[in-house]
């Protein structure tokens, strides 16, 4: 179908915007022009990448509910790409924290992971994402078999929850943004719970 040709590139371009924007801002900074990264560009970059990573992760979880609601089956074909974008932004977020904040000090990283709850949560989420990214190819799906592959990829629910918690534990005071992310997560996971429990109720009633 003709729409197939533009849909993937369009989504790819859309999810690339935050990355391109950040590169542009760093370009401005490097060449001494006014930009939006502010007085503490490293902190601004870390926050921006973290927010983007978490949002793309939540969008990944929104694919199935949206498909069911709209009946737009093609959305499922975009899910892998969106998931890989989530992994991409999580990796960039980790790299900017490890590279620019900790200046690649492994010692500082290990200290942070063991001492600071929000880093422990964030690192766990990243580590759990790795097998999902590695098994995202058609070949790996075939090798694992759809059932085991599906089971493995249910990890995404835990990863998203860890991401939201990471945000909660990171901010100072009682800030609104983590609550917004939590609300979206609850809706997306709650929707699945409702879907899974419904047929069972139906069976019981029958």
Partner 1 sequence: MLIRRPKSWELKENQTTPHGLYLNRRQLVAGLGLASGSIASGAMAKSELAIAGRKLEYSSSKYQVDAPQTPYPMVTSYNNFYEFGTDKSDPAKHAHALITDPWTVTVEGHANKTGTFALEDIIRPNEQEERIYRLRCVEAWSMVIPWVGVPLRKILARFEPTSKAKYVQFVTKFERSQMRGTRWPVLDWPYVEGLRMDEAMNDLSLMATGLYGHELPNQNGAPLRLIVPWKYGFKSIKSIVKIRFVEKQPKTSWKKSAPREYGFYSNVNPNVDHPRWSQSSERVIGGGGFSSLFSRRETEDFNGYGTEVASLYTDMDLKRNY
Question: Residue numbers of the site for partner 1 (CB under 8 A)?
Answer: 28-43, 100, 103, 108, 111-112, 115-118, 169-177
For the CB of residue 53, give the shortest distance to partner 1 in the complex, in Å.
18
CA-wise closest residue to 74 among 11, 137, 18, 17: 11
Question: Could you count the other beta carbons within 10 Å of the beta carbon of residue 59?
Answer: 19
Shortest Å, Cβ 35 to partner 1: 6
Q: Between 71 and 176, name the residue whose CB sits nearer to partner 1.
A: 176
Residues 6+ apart with CB under 8 A from 158: 128
Q: How far apart are CA 18 and CA 26, in angstroms?
A: 12
Q: Among residues 6 and 104, whose Cβ is nearest to partner 1? A: 104
Of the pair 60, 96, the CB lying nearest partner 1 is at 96
Provide the minimum distance between the beta carbon of 52 and partner 1 in the complex, in angstroms, as a whole number: 15
Task: Please say which residue, 118 or 149, places its beta carbon nearer to partner 1.
Answer: 118
Distance CA(33)–CA(56), nearest Å, equals: 29
In the bound complex, what is the minimum distance in angstroms from residue 24's beta carbon to partner 1? 11
Torsion of CA 22, 23, 29, 32, to 10 degrees: -140
């Amino acid at each position: 179908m003709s729409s197939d040709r533009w849909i993937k590139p369009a989504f790819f371009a859309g999810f690339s915007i935050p990355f391109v924007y950040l590169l542009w801002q760093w370009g401005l900074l490097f060449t001494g022009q006014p930009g939006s990264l502010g007085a503490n560009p490293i902190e601004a970059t870390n926050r921006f990448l973290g927010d983007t990573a978490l949002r793309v992760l939540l969008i990944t979880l929104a694919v199935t509910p949206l498909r069911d609601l709209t009946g737009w089956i093609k959305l499922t074909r975009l899910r892998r790409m969106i998931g890989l974008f989530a992994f991409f932004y999580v990796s960039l977020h980790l790299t900017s924290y490890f590279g620019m904040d900790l200046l690649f000090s492994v010692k500082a990283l290990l200290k942070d992971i063991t001492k600071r709850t929000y880093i422990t949560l964030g690192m766990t989420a990243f580590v759990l994402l790795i097998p999902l990214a590695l098994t995202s190819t058609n070949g790996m799906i075939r090798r694992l078999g759809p059932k085991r592959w599906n089971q493995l990829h249910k990890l995404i629910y835990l990863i998203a929850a860890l991401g939201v918690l990471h945000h909660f534990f990171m901010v100072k005071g009682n800030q609104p943004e983590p609550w917004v992310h939590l609300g979206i997560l609850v809706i997306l996971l709650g929707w699945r719970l409702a879907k899974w429990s419904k047929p069972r109720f139906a069976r019981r009633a029958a």
